[in-house]
Amino acid sequence: MYRLFLPNEYVKDIFRMTPEKLKNKGIRGVITDLDNTLVEWDRPEATAEIIEWMRDMREAGIHVTIVSNNNEERVKAFSEPLGIPFIHRARKPMGKAFRQAVRQMGIPKEQVVVIGDQLLTDIFGGNRSGLHTVLVVPVASSDGLATRFNRKVERMIMRKLERQGLIDWEEVK
């Protein structure tokens, strides 16, 4: 059961997922979380670095869709200025939003990666949907109320995965 929480990759931040690296793996689509993956959960707009990352993805022909459990107002305000499709109130880890994002991209799920900062939502949901998953270190050390509980559960899962020798979290620090 714990293996469903195990990401295929783990990196320090989203910027480690370059268009070149993704293309070399045959990836043509990215499903990314928003809060604490792209920007801090309380930052309303994209940073200059995120704008550049999105532009680089677009220029490389890689589709990006933001899939967030947050409300429409939050996700729309962030995504629309970037011209990035989004799905709000995704109910991750349920699979419907992941399948919808893949369908909207029009590419096989084998060519799509899920990038997120939470094991319980992004990684578990992506793995259950048969997608390649990448865990990133959260961009902020603080979280919204709902996420704080998840982090406690995630720490227990991470300790279990470490004891089983399945991960070495020092690599992302």
Cα–Cα distance for residue pair 44/92, rounded to 1 Å: 21
Query: pLDDT, tens digit, for every residue of 52-86?
Result: 999 999 999 999 999 999 999 999 999 999 999 99
Place of tokens 């305000």: 77
CATH number reported for the structural domain that contains residue 120 in this entry = 3.40.50.1000
Predicted confidence (pLDDT) per residue in 32-57, tens digit: 999 999 999 888 899 999 999 999 99
User: In 142-157, which positions are buried (b, 16+ CB within 10 angstroms) versus exposed (e)?
Assistant: ebeeebeeeeeebeeb
Domain range for 164: 2-172
Res. 172: pLDDT tops 90: no
pLDDT tens per residue across span 96-155: 999 999 999 999 999 999 999 999 999 999 999 999 999 999 887 766 666 777 778 888
Cβ-Cβ contacts under 8 Å for 136 (sequence gap 6 or more): 10, 11, 12, 13, 14, 16, 37, 115, 116, 117, 172
**What's the alpha-carbon Rg for the chain, to the nearest Å?**
15
Q: Which pLDDT value is given to residue 169? A: 59
CA-wise closest residue to 94 among 63, 120, 75 = 120
The total number of structural domains that make up the chain: 1
